[in-house]
């Protein structure tokens, strides 16, 4: 399950389903509810089969619901052609689109690491050896997990004390 495929593919499916339901003469509100709800439920089934993590699930749900709401708002305005959308909702929509894009990048980098061409360009020493930039995973929080960290901190303190 690829984040890019599920996130943006799901949003595109919401748009397609929304307009298909419009051809069936379903009211604007119910088109948004059915298209957004169907994709959220479908994603829950997909996520239960192959758990991507709560952060990815939350982002998918937010994007799917926001897509349906935006379609509802934009098509409600089309019914009244004389009124234009105020600048404030446009700014809010732009902000959330930017936020979703940035969160998507963060989740991708945390799970897969930086693409190699970006690592070589932005990270020092990345051209000498393979820089591993992916999140290493969940570490146990027991007493054994703290011992290497404590030893490393003691070693750094000893090095600072030496002239």
In whole angstroms, give the CA distance from residue 16 to residue 19. 5
Residue 162 lies in a domain: no
With tokens 């051209």, the residue in question is 127
Mean pLDDT of 108-132: 72
What pLDDT does residue 155 have? 87
Residue 84 lies in a domain: yes
Residue 143 lies in a domain: no
Q: How confident is the model at residue 161 (pLDDT cuts 50, 70, 90)?
A: confident
Residue 52 lies in a domain: yes
In whole angstroms, give the CA distance from residue 52 to residue 95. 25
Residue 130 lies in a domain: no
Q: Which domain holds residue 80?
A: 3-112
What pLDDT does residue 24 have? 92
What pLDDT does residue 132 have? 63
Contact 77, 21 (CB under 8 A): no
Residue 124 lies in a domain: no
In whole angstroms, give the CA distance from residue 151 to residue 91. 50
In whole angstroms, give the CA distance from residue 59 to residue 65. 10
Residue 81 lies in a domain: yes
What pLDDT does residue 159 have? 87
Q: For the segment 14-73, what is each residue's pLDDT rounded down to a tens digit?
A: 999 999 999 999 998 999 999 999 999 999 999 999 888 888 898 899 989 989 998 888
Q: How confident is the model at residue 84 (pLDDT cuts 50, 70, 90)?
A: confident
What pLDDT does residue 19 have? 93
> Tokens standing for 33?
């509810």
145: burial class by Cβ within 10 Å (0-12, 13-18, 19+)?
exposed
- Tell me what the pLDDT averaged over the chain comes to: 81
Q: How many domains does the chain have?
A: 1
Q: How confident is the model at residue 130 (pLDDT cuts 50, 70, 90)?
A: low
What pLDDT does residue 145 have? 64
Residue 123 lies in a domain: no
Q: Among 103, 102, 127, which Cα is nearest to 116's?
A: 127
**For the whole model, what pTM was predicted?**
0.59
Contact 37, 20 (CB under 8 A): no
What letters, b where the CB count within 10 A reaches 16 and e where it falls short, cover 22-31?
eeeebebeeb
What pLDDT does residue 90 have? 82
């Amino acid at each position: 399950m690829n984040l890019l495929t599920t996130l943006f593919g799901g949003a595109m499916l919401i748009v397609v389903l929304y307009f298909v339901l419009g051809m069936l003469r379903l009211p604007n509100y119910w088109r948004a509810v059915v298209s957004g709800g169907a994709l959220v439920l479908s994603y829950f089934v997909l996520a239960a089969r192959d758990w991507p993590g709560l952060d990815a699930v939350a982002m998918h749900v937010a994007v799917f619901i926001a897509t349906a709401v935006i379609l509802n708002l934009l098509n409600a305005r089309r019914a009244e052609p004389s009124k234009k959308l105020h600048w404030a909702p446009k700014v809010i929509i732009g902000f959330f689109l930017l936020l979703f894009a940035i969160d998507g990048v963060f989740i991708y980098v945390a799970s897969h690491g930086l693409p190699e061409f970006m690592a070589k360009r932005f990270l020092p020493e990345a051209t000498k050896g393979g820089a591993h930039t992916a999140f290493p995973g969940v570490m146990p929080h027991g007493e054994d997990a703290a011992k290497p960290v404590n030893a490393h901190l003691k070693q750094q303190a000893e090095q600072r004390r030496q002239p």
